[in-house]
């Protein structure tokens, strides 16, 4: 089969690799669509983790083969997956810090080499523990492209819950890329009054269409009223201090785009200490939110189709990466689409 193989920083090549075969309890999916995620872009750009790998984890596909003992799935079934599942038994899981659980950190899907998602390939193998708890059936009437959003919506929903947004909360979202626009919709569902900040006017126009109460250029945030919560969906280090400045005393800032250990940013720690502003991280998905995230997408309570601006075949994976890596007025979510996608 064909796959996009990561061979080093900014080096991804279409190669022929062996077709995966399912072992006991495993399933192989024929990939129909795979979203290009910012975390994969960072790994490709910075050479971390080491190659070779086949990335891509926002996957929707069809079951093509099942291993011994698999009874709930058959060839032709449509499915998406959560590629991480926690053990639920360790101290971290008991504290609901699932994304830090050693078992969770084991990637459970692969198209070859060290497991890394595998969605940038024609077929991907789903390990037995993911089949048991992380494989989700896609209902009729939901497109493959829409289904690829279930995992990222889960990650955003986790951030919203950590932010403690409730009816009447005032919320600032820094960044109106795909993640910022999902956070916007979830914050509105939670009852928040939401302002979105972004330097790209066209993205702010999309935010307005999706329910933003107000939109601003980041340079004008200092002149706005203080908010209860700020969500940082922009990777720029200076966005963190901007968010801290924007929240009221005892307000809360949630970092969503800061996913590489070692990244540094100067912040006014006096605001955290004396003014009791909280600075919180939120990373990856929560197994507790799987069903809710799927329902939000499948019911279209969260609109994801308007976020898709670009579709590329696997053969043009490097164009897909380039577009997704360079935010612009015309680009939001990039999807790698395979033949037969619904």
Based on the fold, state whether residues 72 and 202 are members of the same structural domain: no
- Distance between CA atoms of 35 and 324, rounded to whole angstroms? 10
pLDDT above 70 coverage of the chain, percent = 99
Give SS3 for 204.
Answer: helix
CATH number at residue 127: 3.90.180.10
Beta bridge partners of 104: none
Residue matched to tokens 């979510």: 333
Residue 66 lies in a domain: yes
Q: What is the pLDDT of residues 308-328, one digit of tens each?
A: 999 999 999 999 999 999 989
Question: How far is 12 from 256, CA to CA, in rounded Å?
Answer: 26
Higher-pLDDT residue of 264, 277: 277
Report whether pLDDT(21) > 70. Answer: yes
Do 276 and 324 belong to one domain?
no
Q: pLDDT tens digits, residue range 62-99? A: 999 999 999 999 999 999 999 999 999 999 999 999 99
Mark whether 205 and 170 lie in a shared domain. Answer: yes
The separation between the first and the last C-alpha atoms of the chain, rounded to the nearest angstrom, is 21
Domain span at residue 19 reads: 2-149+304-337
- Are 136 and 11 contained in the same domain? yes
Is residue 104 situated within a structural domain? yes
User: Based on the domain organization, do 226 and 129 belong to the same domain?
Assistant: no
Residue 261 has pLDDT above 90, yes or no: no
What's CA 169's distance to the chain center, in Å?
24
Structure confidence at residue 200 (pLDDT): 97
Based on the fold, state whether residues 184 and 107 are members of the same structural domain.
no
pLDDT one-digit tens code per residue, 211-234: 999 999 999 999 899 999 999 999
Last residue of a domain, one of 281, 296, 317: 281
User: Tokens representing 58?
Assistant: 């926002």
**Tokens at 199, concatenated:** 């330097």
Determine the pLDDT at residue 263. 86
| Same domain for 133 and 21 | yes
Confidence category of residue 341, pLDDT binned at 50, 70, 90: low
| 263 is a domain residue | yes
CA distance 57 to 108: 10
Q: Which residue has the tokens 């058959």?
A: 74
Cis peptide before 173 (omega within 30 of 0): no
| CATH number of 243's domain | 3.40.50.720
Question: For the residues of 87-109, what is the DSSP string, one character each?
Answer: -S-SHHHHTT-GGG-TTTTS--E
Please check whether residues 6 and 138 belong to one and the same domain: yes
> Domains in the chain: how many in total?
2
Residues 166 and 228 in one domain: yes
Q: Give the gyration radius of the chain's Cα atoms.
A: 20
Whole-angstrom distance, CA of residue 308 vs CA of residue 316: 17
Distance in angstroms (rounded) separating the CA atoms of residues 6 and 13? 7
290: in domain? no
**Residues 164-205: pLDDT tens digits?**
999 999 999 999 999 999 999 999 999 999 999 999 999 999
Q: Under a CB-based contact definition with an 8 Å cutoff, are residues 170 and 192 in contact?
A: yes
Q: Is residue 342, in this structure, part of any structural domain at all?
A: no
Domain-embedded: residue 60: yes
> Residue 12 above 90 pLDDT?
yes
pLDDT digits (tens, 9 = 90+) for 118-159: 999 999 999 999 999 999 999 999 999 999 999 999 999 999
β-partners of residue 162 are: none
What confidence score (pLDDT) does residue 171 get? 98
Residue 262 covered by a domain: yes
Given this model, what pLDDT does residue 310 score?
97
Structure tokens at 128: 């037995």
What ranges in 97-234 are assigned the alpha helix state H?
128-133, 144-147, 150-163, 178-189, 201-209
* Coil, strand or helix at 144: helix
Rounded to whole angstroms, the Cα distance separating 106 from 123 reads: 20
State yes or no: pLDDT of 262 exceeds 90.
Answer: no
Residues 256 and 123 in one domain: no
Give residue 339's pLDDT band: very low, low, confident or very high (50, 70, 90).
confident
Distances (CA, A) of 223 to 170, 219, 220, 235, 245: 15, 9, 6, 22, 11
pLDDT confidence of residue 129: 97
* Residues 36 and 131 occupy one common structural domain: yes
Instruction: Indicate whether 144 and 183 sit together in one domain.
Output: no
Alpha carbon distance 61, 342 (integer Å): 10
Q: What is the pLDDT of residue 342?
A: 64
Q: How confident is the model at residue 290 (pLDDT cuts 50, 70, 90)?
A: very high
Residue 298 domain-assigned (yes or no): no
State which of 234, 249, 281 marks the end of a domain: 281
The rounded mean pLDDT for the chain is 96
């Amino acid at each position: 089969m064909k796959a996009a193989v990561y061979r080093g920083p900014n080096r991804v090549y279409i190669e022929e690799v062996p077709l995966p075969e399912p072992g006991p309890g495993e399933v192989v999916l024929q990939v129909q669509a795979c979203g290009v995620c910012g975390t994969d872009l960072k790994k490709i750009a910075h050479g971390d983790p080491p190659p070779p790998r086949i990335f891509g984890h926002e996957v929707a596909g069809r079951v093509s083969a099942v291993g011994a003992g698999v009874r709930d799935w058959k060839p032709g079934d449509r499915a998406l997956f959560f590629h991480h599942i926690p053990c639920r038994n360790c101290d971290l899981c008991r504290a609901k810090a699932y994304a830090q659980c050693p078992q969770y950190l084991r990637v459970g899907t692969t198209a070859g080499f060290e497991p890394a998602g595998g969605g940038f390939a024609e077929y991907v193998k789903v390990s037995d523990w993911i089949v048991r708890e992380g494989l989700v059936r896609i209902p009729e009437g939901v497109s493959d492209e829409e289904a690829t959003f279930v995992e990222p919506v889960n990650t955003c929903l986790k951030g919203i819950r950590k932010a403690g947004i409730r009816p009447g909360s005032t919320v600032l979202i820094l960044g109106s890329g795909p993640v910022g626009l999902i956070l916007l919709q979830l914050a509105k569902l939670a009852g928040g009054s939401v302002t979105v900040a972004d330097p790209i006017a066209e993205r702010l126009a999309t935010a307005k269409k999706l329910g933003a109460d107000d939109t601003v250029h980041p340079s004008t945030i200092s002149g706005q009223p203080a908010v209860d919560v700020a969500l940082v969906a922009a990777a720029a280090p200076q966005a963190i201090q901007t968010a801290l400045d924007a929240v009221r005393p005892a307000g809360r800032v949630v970092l969503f785009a800061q996913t590489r250990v070692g990244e540094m940013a100067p912040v006014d720690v006096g605001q955290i200490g004396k003014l009791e502003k909280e600075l919180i991280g939120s990373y990856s998905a929560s197994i507790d939110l799987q069903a809710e995230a799927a329902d939000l997408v499948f019911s279209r309570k969260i609109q994801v189709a308007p976020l898709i601006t670009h579709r590329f075949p696997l053969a043009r994976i490097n164009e897909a990466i380039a577009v997704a890596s360079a935010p612009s007025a015309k680009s939001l979510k990039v999807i790698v689409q395979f033949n037969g996608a619904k």
